């Protein structure tokens, strides 16, 4: 009986040892898998970070046919409104197009003024990043015209508003927030209003296709409207534009993309576009 008890005890110990080894092996395997998953996630994050480096195209954007309008190093392709020169108040700083604020509004900069990309577009998808100084004001224009009749491109073009919503008084003017960031200036408010604070980068997009226009800000569609429709004519009539240009409602089917000098420090980068004609 004693011998059998010892044998049973030995068998029990052997079984227990096998279970412990199996459990340790399983835990070790789980740990290795978790470490492997974490490593994969880390690699994915690094790849995503590399793909969205400023002033570069992702593989997907290259496949879609995007092109860079700004290389982060030169002003190639850009010039002043109504001039072939690139204004001296604009500079390339830290990979961004920077307008050095005059503090005197849109007409105050010495050797400043609005700039435009020297090519016209009709149907397109535009992406860009921007940040604004405290109290800053600027805008991105599209389908703009260059004519001696008007001193500023905004008198001919829709404007994607750029603003420090917290400090600039324009944020409180207009109606229902239609002068805040990403709004179609003085006509359609950006909803939801999701701009980052002054000094932080924002991602934005403008899509124009056969009269349908979409503004996107920080990953969300915030404005959608339709050019040349009765609703469009009605809404423009209720804005300030007919007082400045009675033909403003007749936005052109193709035109320039412009960046505004409104007297404040503003930075633009990662400006990229694909034609959708």
Q: What is the pLDDT of residue 27?
A: 42
Helix (H, G, I), strand (E, B) or coil at 97: strand
Distance CA 131, CA 150 (A): 28
Q: What is the pLDDT of residue 36?
A: 47
Q: What is the pLDDT of residue 103?
A: 85
Residue 162 is classified by DSSP as E
Distance CA 206, CA 127 (A): 7
Task: Output the CATH code of domain 59-275.
Answer: 2.60.120.560
Domain ranges of the chain: 1-51, 59-275
The pair phi, psi for residue 24, each rounded to 5°, is -65, -40
Helix (H, G, I), strand (E, B) or coil at 170: helix
pLDDT per residue rounded down to tens, the chain (277 residues): 444 443 444 544 444 344 433 443 444 445 455 554 544 554 444 444 445 799 999 999 999 999 999 999 999 999 999 999 999 999 999 999 999 998 877 767 788 999 999 999 999 999 999 999 999 999 999 999 999 999 999 999 999 999 999 999 999 999 999 999 999 999 999 999 999 999 999 999 999 999 999 999 999 999 999 999 999 999 999 999 999 888 999 999 999 999 999 999 999 999 999 999 9
Q: What is the pLDDT of residue 244?
A: 86
Q: What is the pLDDT of residue 143?
A: 98
Q: What is the pTM of this model?
A: 0.82
- Please, are residues 235 and 187 in contact by the beta-carbon 8 Å criterion? yes
Distance CA 99, CA 111 (A): 11
Give CA separation, 69 vs 13, 49, 115, in Å.
74, 21, 13
**In sequence order, what DSSP letters do the residues of 26-90 get, joined into one string?**
HHHHHHHHHHHHHHHHHHHHHHHHHHT-TT---HHHHHHT-EES--SS--TTEEETTSSSPPTTE
CA 78 to chain centre: 19
């Amino acid at each position: 009986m004693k011998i059998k008890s010892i044998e049973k005890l030995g068998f029990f110990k052997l079984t227990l040892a096998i279970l412990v080894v199996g459990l340790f092996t399983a835990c070790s395997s789980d740990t290795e898998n978790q470490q492997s998953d974490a490593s994969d996630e880390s690699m994915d994050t690094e790849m995503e970070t590399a793909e969205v480096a400023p002033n570069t195209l992702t593989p997907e954007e290259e496949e879609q046919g995007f092109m860079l309008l700004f290389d982060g190093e030169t002003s190639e392709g850009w010039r002043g409104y109504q001039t072939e020169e690139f204004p001296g108040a604009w500079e390339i700083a830290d990979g961004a197009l920077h307008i050095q604020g005059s503090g005197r509004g849109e007409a105050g900069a010495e050797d400043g003024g609005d700039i435009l990309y020297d090519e016209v577009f009709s149907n397109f998808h535009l992406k860009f990043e921007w940040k604004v100084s405290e109290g800053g004001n600027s805008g991105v224009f599209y389908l703009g015209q260059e004519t001696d009749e008007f001193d500023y491109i905004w008198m001919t073009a829709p404007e994607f508003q750029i603003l420090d919503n917290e400090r600039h008084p324009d944020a409180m003017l207009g109606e229902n927030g239609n002068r805040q960031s990403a709004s179609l200036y003085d006509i359609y408010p950006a909803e939801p209003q999701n701009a980052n604070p002054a000094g932080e980068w924002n991602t934005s997009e403008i899509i124009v296709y056969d009269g349908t226009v979409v503004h996107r800000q920080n990953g969300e569609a915030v404005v959608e409207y339709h050019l040349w429709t009765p609703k469009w004519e009605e809404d423009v009539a209720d804005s300030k534009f007919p007082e400045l240009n009675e033909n403003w409602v007749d936005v052109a089917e193709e035109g320039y993309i412009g960046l505004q000098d409104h007297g404040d420090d503003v930075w633009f980068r990662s400006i990229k576009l694909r034609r959708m004609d």
